[in-house]
Structures are given as C-alpha cells and as structure tokens.
Amino acid sequence: MKTTRIISTIFLIVLLIGCNSNKTIPEGFYSYDQEEVKTAVETLTFQPELPQFVPIKVEFQVSDHYTVTDTNSEALDVSFYTIENDLLSIQFVNGNLNEIAVDPEKVEINDTIEGEYVDNSYAKTLYWESAGVSYKMTYRASTVIENNNPENNKNVTKEEMVKVAKSFHL
C-alpha cells in the first residue's frame, strides 16, 4: 500500500511537470533567452510584461535601454535576429508612444486590450498599451534569400504576431 502511494505521488509530480513544460511554447513558435531580457528589464523603473515565446528561431538578441527624445519616456528595445537576419524588435515604453499609423487594423489582444496592426512593404507592426506601458512589436524579413530559395525564409503572419502579443498577458 505504501509503495502504491509513493508511485502514485511520483507519477503525479512527473505528470504535472510534463504538463507545465508543454504549455509554454506552442508549435511553430520558439524560445529565447528570457533571463537576458529579464536582466535588461531590471534596469528599468517600470516593469513591462514579457512574451512567453517568439515567432522566429532566435540566433542572437540585443537589448537597448534608452530615453525617447520627444517625450523623455524611459524605454527598452529588445531585438531578436535569426541566422538569416530576420528581425523581430519589441519596444517597451513607460507611457504613451504617440504612434500614428496610417490605416491601422484593429486587433484583439485579449478581452481588455486592443491593438493596432500595420503591414506595409517593409515591416509588420503591432502596437498596444497595457497598464501604462506601450508595446510595439515589429517584424522585418531579411532581404537575403537563403540558398537562393525564397521558400527557406519564414514570413511571420499577423496571426502569429497577435499570438505572441497575447502571450505577454497570460
């Protein structure tokens, strides 16, 4: 009887750990060095939410802490690059970015957060605000075609960008 309880307890722990690890990154999305980004966030006077995953396979990432010139707002820019040089940049600003996009498409991040999406010839941008923090996520595909085959390059979709934005607010 005692052995059965121990085995049941071990099984339950393994099951819970396994379930927890599966929920973090959906198929078609990728991890990134969250600890490096958390370290950069610790230098800020505000605490933005972070994505649970990104839509590109990250080869390296760069963080830049700065002040927005026009508003004197504190900001952090985190840029993720693929081996093909695709770029996903996420900008966190303490306050309003005062972004004015031409014909943005409204998208729902969650029940209380609405974003604006713009897709033009050079970049896809998703902008939203939550709890006094402005978020701007921009994806730019590399202009270099890997192995002369355009099918090798990943093109991030609006739906993928929205899914990443939703992961900030889980």
pLDDT of residue 170: 76
| Residue 120 burial (10 A CB sphere; 0-12, 13-18, 19+) | exposed
- Using CA atoms, how far apart are residues 170 and 123, in angstroms rounded to an integer? 26
Tell me, rounded to whole angstroms, the distance of Cα 146 from its chain centroid. Answer: 24
pLDDT of residue 11: 40
Classify residue 149: in a domain, yes or no.
Answer: yes
pLDDT of residue 103: 84
pLDDT of residue 97: 81
Per-residue pLDDT of the chain in tens (170 residues, 90 and over written 9):
555 454 444 443 433 444 444 457 999 999 999 999 999 999 999 999 999 999 999 999 999 999 998 889 999 999 999 999 999 999 999 998 877 677 899 999 999 999 999 998 889 999 999 999 999 999 999 886 655 555 445 689 999 999 999 999 87
Classify residue 101: in a domain, yes or no.
Answer: yes
| Token representation of residue 146 | 């890997």
How crowded is residue 54: how many other Cβ atoms within 10 Å of its Cβ?
25
Largest CA distance in the chain: 70
pTM, two decimal places: 0.81
The number of distinct structural domains making up the chain is 1
Classify residue 8: in a domain, yes or no.
Answer: no
pLDDT of residue 148: 54
The strand pairing partners of 68, in sequence order, are: 73
Classify residue 5: in a domain, yes or no.
Answer: no
- Using CA atoms, how far apart are residues 109 and 162, in angstroms rounded to an integer? 6
Classify residue 121: in a domain, yes or no.
Answer: yes
CATH of the domain at 93: 3.40.1000
pLDDT of residue 112: 95
Classify residue 19: in a domain, yes or no.
Answer: no
Instruction: Tell me which residue range forms the domain holding 86.
Output: 28-168
Classify residue 16: in a domain, yes or no.
Answer: no
Task: Mark out the alpha helices in the chain (DSSP H runs).
Answer: 2-22, 34-41, 158-168
pLDDT of residue 1: 54
Classify residue 146: in a domain, yes or no.
Answer: yes
